[in-house]
Amino acid sequence: MISLEVSGNVIQVEDHILSFIKEKRQLLFSNFESGGMLLGCIEEGTDILVINDFTLPLKTDTQTRTRFIRNKNHNKLLRNKWIKSGGTTMYLGEWHTHPEVDPNYSSQDFRNWNDLLKKSNTFSGYLLFLISGTHYFKIWVGNRKNKKLKLVYRGEFD
């Protein structure tokens, strides 16, 4: 599990999410970008935000070697998970892959993330943005109040 601290708030990312994303790395030239939502909840009796679920790429998404555009069908999945969990599972951000060793966000990613910080309907004051390269992955946290983006984690796949 990855534990992050953002302005005194603890955010945890469960290992099974990283194991899945690791399998989606673009190790071959023919691999397309993958992505989806990061989902989670506030751990009962605490203020800890736990990322414990995600959505997988859907057939309706746009996937090329250098592009991933999430289709709105992910919102339906989120809604189902929200209902099933009794209203505790919420939207907490985005993940996607890049065909590069050590990933950085593109100008398109930056614009998308800013839009999401403005428009997302969630209880969380923060959104997490994870990009997986072929050897490293990075997590940025966006603050929904001041729209600031901060790199909070750089991990290496073994």
**Closer CB to Zn ion, 3 or 108, in the complex:** 108
**Closer CB to Zn ion, 33 or 53, in the complex:** 33
Collect all residues with Cβ–Cβ distance below 8 Å to 11 and sequence separation of at least 6. Answer: 3, 4, 5, 48, 49, 50, 51, 126, 128, 141
Q: Does 61 bind Zn ion (CB under 5 A)?
A: no
Bin 58: left if φ > 0, else alpha if -120 < ψ < 50, else beta.
beta
- How many residues touch Zn ion under the rule CB under 5 A: the total is 2
> Which residue lies nearest Zn ion, judged by its C-beta?
109
Rounded Cα gap, residues 42 and 127, in angstroms: 13
> Max alpha carbon distance in the chain (Å)?
46
**Closer CB to Zn ion, 10 or 149, in the complex:** 149
Determine the interface stretch with Zn ion among 9-17, 39-47, 54-62, 107-115 (rule: CB under 5 A): 107-115
Q: How far is the CB of 105 from Zn ion (least distance, A)?
A: 6
Pairing of strands 136-143, 9-13: unpaired
**Closer CB to Zn ion, 53 or 109, in the complex:** 109
Q: How far is the CB of 7 from Zn ion (least distance, A)?
A: 25
The angle at the Cα of 127, spanning 22 to 36, to the nearest 5 degrees, equals 40
Among 109, 132, 134, 137, binds Zn ion (CB under 5 A): 109
33, 44, 100, 156: which one is catalytic? Answer: 33
| Catalytic residue flag (residue 14) | no
Count CB atoms within 10 A of the CB of residue 121. 8
Q: Which residues bind Zn ion (CB under 5 A)?
A: 106, 109
Q: Which residues are catalytic?
A: 33
